[in-house]
Amino acid sequence: MRPYRSGTAHNGLHDWHWQRLSAVVLALLIPLPFLLLICIYSGNIDQISLLNLLDHPVTRTLHTLLIAALTIHGYVGLKVIIEDYLHCSCARVVVVGGLMTVFAAISIWWLALIWGWF
């Protein structure tokens, strides 16, 4: 038995794979900022060491991966919810387009902060 209308993608497996892949990346990267906060509050890292650590290219790359995973995970999750519950395809296109614009703007702003594009 096939669903009557299966959304714009007609197959949720692609979204499911992106959601799981981004969840694995998030599960690996989310503990790192919390470990850094624990080191800061325990007094193991001073301000100069923290700035040197955050300015390192590896740290910036990991932060970029975190931004990409958060963006993909949030966008795919909200897109699937919108596709499931918003039945008018015209409104769905407008809302998903707006969602994509907001996620892109936030990601570009966040990357500009991290890589110092200002």
What's the predicted TM-score (pTM) here? 0.81
How confident is the model over 34-47, as pLDDT tens digits? Answer: 999 999 999 999 98
Across residues 77-94, what is the average pLDDT?
Answer: 92
How is the chain split into domains, by residue range?
Answer: 14-115
More confident residue, 11 or 106: 106
14-115 is a CATH 1.10.1740.10 domain: no
The answer, yes or no, to whether residue 29 has pLDDT greater than 90, is yes
Residue 4: the pLDDT is 56
Q: Which two tokens mark 105?
A: 């703007």
Q: How many Cβ atoms from other residues are within 10 Å of residue 49's Cβ? A: 12
What is the percent of the chain where pLDDT is above 70?
90
